[in-house]
Amino acid sequence: MSNKIVVLGVTGSIAAYKAVDVASQLTQKGIDVEVILTKAATQFVTPLTFRSITARPVVTDMFQLASPFSIEHVALAEAADLIAIAPATANIIAKLANGIADDSLTCTVLATAAPVVIAPAMHTGMYNNPVTQLNLTKLHQRGFTLIGPLHGRLASGGIGLGRFAPPDEIVTTICHLLDRKKDLIGKEVIITAGGTQEAIDPVRYIGNRSSGKMGYALAAAARDRGAHVRLISAPTSLAKPLGIEVIDVQTAEEMSVAVGEMISRVDILIMAAAVADYRPVKMQKEKVKKADQRWDLTLERTPDILAETASCTPRPLRIGFAAETENLLHNAKVKLDQKDLDLIIANDITIAGSGFGADQNQVVIIDRTGCIEELPLLNKTDVAQRILDRVVKLLAE
């Protein structure tokens, strides 16, 4: 871990004293720990405490003229391999979620391209408040890693959700992220995500239940492993991930055109999107009025984007998904053969808490040789990493 720089942001929570342990453990691993204290944090712990532990100057004021960093928020934001905010109050979470930059810590986070880890600590009511939850969701969708909070005894004396995660766990997560593989550097990757929408009339469309979470997780994971990622996204409610070029599309046809324009220049195509297989033959120009008891819609096949890329030269690695409700392995293998794929990721969408819309997914990875790797129920972020592990192996072969 030597040569790594972690910026540790400490905010105004009673759990700030535990951040001293975090700083100490990171320093003992050989990491340069640059501490930034918010004004409120200095009420709980002193800069001298951290300075003594890290042997580094501590930033408390944006306008410190004697600081060794010329313009701290730029210098630290650029130097950081990772920024950890531990503990993170509801206040800092709200500021970061909304791009407020009114002190050294918020400026640094806003200016950085490094991964950011947040360990919230607060009163249960503040944590459960929908506005805090919304802010945390925004940060999570932007690729921030959240650790905790836990259920347990709080400073108020009560028991509830909001307790700071154990420093050991925070340090382990930080080290894991710092150690992350950079095995896709120089690779051009296209990932598709979300569910396409096929217009019936100006108001209605044929869609599906895809949330886009799996594709977005893959895009973020590939980015973190060093790839240049372009994400072709059907409509989703997800925030655009940082550092990734997002091409918004609506229909299967538009997705097909976008993939077709880029495919000759890519090393890897991952089609995580739930592409409509059929679309209305004709889109009605005006809203269709309620009239007869029956309305028969005539549908036609959409282009099979993955199948169409099979003959592409130079040939990229091509990975597809198979969301099934029955005969999972058989159906997935048929698709792998029909579309001539390198890998297919099969998921049984009837498993509770997995698949469409969920944060977790339980998948089976099947390759050309018929080799089957069954993964347990995992967060989509972890599923993404496991898929990319297989992609990297295939590239090496």
Where does this chain bind ligand C5P (CB under 6 A)?
A: 252, 271, 273, 275, 277, 302-306, 320-322, 335
Q: How far apart are CA 134 and CA 155, in angstroms?
A: 24
Element (H, E) at 253: helix 252-262
What does the longest C-alpha to C-alpha distance in the chain come to?
Answer: 79
Q: Which residues have C-beta within 8 Å of that of residue 169, sequence separation ≥ 6?
A: 147, 148
CA 72/CA 59 separation, integer angstroms: 8
What's the residue count for the chain? 397
| Beta pairing, strands 188-193 & 268-271 | parallel
Q: Tell me which residue of 336, 310, 303 sits closest to 321, measured CA to CA.
A: 336
| Residue at 183: amino acid letter | D
Q: Tell me whether residue 76 or residue 259 sits nearer to ligand C5P (CB atom).
A: 259
- Catalytic residue, from 91, 129, 208, 379: name it: 208
Phi/psi region, residue 98 (left: phi>0; alpha: psi -120 to 50; beta: rest), is alpha
- The answer to whether residue 208 is catalytic is yes
Return contacts of 255-264, CB within 8 angstroms, 24+ apart. Answer: 255/192, 255/196, 255/305, 256/302, 256/303, 256/305, 256/308, 258/232, 259/190, 259/192, 259/232, 259/305, 259/309, 260/308, 262/190, 262/230, 263/190, 263/309, 263/312, 263/316, 264/312, 264/313, 264/314
User: Counting beta carbons within 10 angstroms of the beta carbon of residue 38, is it exposed (0 to 12), middle (13 to 18) or buried (19 or more)?
Assistant: buried
Question: Which residue number, 47 or 194, has a Cβ lying nearer to ligand C5P?
Answer: 194
Provide the annotated active-site residues.
208
